[in-house]
Structure 1
Amino acid sequence: MLLNVLTKTSVHHAACAGFDGYTVDGDNYYNSAMDYQIAREKSQSINQYVIDTLERLAGTLTLEFLTDSKYVK
């Protein structure tokens, strides 16, 4: 949602940290108590949604990933 807001407010470059994606088998949060099962169950579809969104915004918004991310090709 924030990326969409940035594009609507004419932001053309943004840096992302901690935008690493979801995993079924690993840790999704620094504190495992913050993890919730629905994210694990839908991790693949959530990741694909984000990838699709990033591809849609590619011509409008340039993203710099400061940390490792599943969304970097």
Structure 2
Amino acid sequence: ASNKYRAWFTGMAPIDKTRIIVGVMIDEPSDGVYFGGLAAAPVFSEVVQQTLRMMNVPPDLAVKPLVTTQGVDESF
């Protein structure tokens, strides 16, 4: 049916010397969150972090804190 969604996210890690490639697909994500970056990327992140930790692969880039901004949505 046209009202059903699948959220996808794929990636590889670490970036410098790739050791794993992971794909995550969530069939019919709930709560109106159906974009891959919102529904599947958090699962990808957790899987990759745990897998690299178990493989004793160190991070290849320094982790920088996320920058958050506050703003007002505008209508165009």
After TM superposition, is the score higher than 0.5?
no
More relative contact order, 1 or 2 (CA 8 Å, 6+ apart): 1
> TM-score, normalized by length of structure 1?
0.33
Higher helix fraction: Structure 1 or Structure 2? 1
Larger gyration radius, structure 1 or structure 2: 2
TM-score (norm 2): 0.32
Greater share of strand: 2
